[in-house]
Amino acid sequence: MYLSIHPEESTFLDRVREFVANDVLPNTRKWEEQTGFDDEIWEKLGTVGLLKMGLPVDQGGVSCAAYCEAIRELAKGDPALAMNVAAINALVVAHIVAFGTPEQQEKYLADVTAGRVKVAWGLTEPDAGSDARRVKTVAEPIEGRDGFYNITGRKMFITNGGKADLIVIIARTSEKELSAFLLETNQPGFTLEKRIHTVGVSASNTVQFGLNNAVGWHTPCKFEEAIGLLYRGRLGIAGMAVGIAEKAHELAVEYSKQREQFNRRLCDMQSVQNMLADSEVEVEAARLLLQKGAQLFDMGLPIIKESSIAKLYSSETANRVTNRAVQIHGGRGMTREFLVEKLWRDAKLTEIGEGCSEIQRMVIAKQITK
């Protein structure tokens, strides 16, 4: 199964590849070392069209197939940037499109998709991770201000949270009900508590923040509807994982053709060939599962099981393939001079973010036993 990408989307994907070659890959080490992207990256992403992929196609967005391809390409240049772009599109832009009122869409969408307003998505809390329903952050209606709530609580592990001007916050509206809110960070009730430094994707500005009667604007939706955006979101993380795996595999193949030991190239040694062949098969399988999930989404079919399958398989593939790529590079694979060590560290996030592998297995099992 190969993706049918619309000609206009092919042109967009050519632009993405050019952007990755010129503006992303050359900076990936620098961004990691400075633990942050350059500020101008957001408007550049906007210019390329990478922040409006989550809009409906007739309003300038792209198909899910093209979205996954774009994230895969971005991840080959910088996985942390791919993760940010994936979350912005699938969980923030798509949220405002699906649940925002016309007034909210009018106020935010143009600036968010141009990169002028930076955004994040806040679900996770110290006591609510895989079990998202444990969210303790509370939202209470403000008397006399229809649609506005006072929000109090704490969020952690929020991607781009340190830079965000606007965050989609999941909060509790009653003992049993949760919903989502748009919250501007430039207000007294919002406190950035700490930057969270991670072993991989470290250019991503991951933070913990506190909310103390911060004002949030309700986007009318049920918890299940807001969380339902994670199904396409997981395809984005799968795209990130496939991109990481592809890049690491390409580097391992190249290195194995150049390095000689025992008067032979590494790629002529059977044990190395086994590693290369296993990676080739797994990368191909992961790409096909990703494409299948994207195609089903574009056909309007359910993807609950398929997005979990794609995410689970491609994230575990990314971890195996990057591990083999380091092994094939030997000692050099553990040094900062070779990109495989970074890809190896970046790959870990794909097994944890937007639902760890154990949760994906749970979703798949539930779907086939219901």
Ligand X SMILES: Cc1cc2nc3c(=O)[nH]c(=O)nc-3n(C[C@H](O)[C@H](O)[C@H](O)COP(=O)(O)OP(=O)(O)OC[C@H]3O[C@@H](n4cnc5c(N)ncnc54)[C@H](O)[C@@H]3O)c2cc1C
Contact (CB, 8 A) for 315 and 282 = no
What's the min distance (Å) between Cβ of 356 and ligand X? Answer: 4
DSSP secondary structure string for all residues of 236-279: HHHHHHHHHHHHHHHHHHHHHHH-EETTEEGGGSHHHHHHHHHH
Please, which residue, 63 or 307, has the CB nearer to ligand X?
Answer: 307
What's the min distance (Å) between Cβ of 25 and ligand X? Answer: 21
Catalytic (active site) residue 280: no
Q: Which residue sits closest to ligand X, CB atoms considered?
A: 129
352-355, Cβ contacts within 8 angstroms, sequence gap of 24 or more: 353/83, 353/159, 353/237, 354/230, 354/233, 354/234, 354/236, 354/237, 354/311, 355/130, 355/230, 355/234, 355/308, 355/311
What's the min distance (Å) between Cβ of 275 and ligand X? Answer: 26
| Residues binding ligand X (CB under 6 A) | 87, 120-124, 129-130, 157-159, 198, 201, 206, 349, 352-356, 358-359, 362
Ordered alpha helix ranges (H), the chain: 7-19, 28-33, 41-48, 64-77, 79-87, 94-99, 102-114, 223-228, 230-258, 270-298, 304-329, 339-350, 357-369
Q: Alpha-carbon distance 32 to 141, whole Å?
A: 41
Catalytic residue from among 18, 306, 354, 358: 354
Please, which residue, 69 or 351, has the CB nearer to ligand X?
Answer: 351
Please, which residue, 63 or 360, has the CB nearer to ligand X?
Answer: 360
Collapsed DSSP state (helix, strand, coil) of residue 130: coil
What's the min distance (Å) between Cβ of 125 and ligand X? Answer: 8
Q: Which two tokens stand for residue 80?
A: 């942390």
Q: Alpha-carbon distance 190 to 214, whole Å?
A: 6
What's the min distance (Å) between Cβ of 301 and ligand X? Answer: 26
Please, which residue, 191 or 271, has the CB nearer to ligand X?
Answer: 191
CB atoms within 10 A of CB 335: 10
Please, which residue, 130 or 174, has the CB nearer to ligand X?
Answer: 130
Catalytic annotation, residues: 354
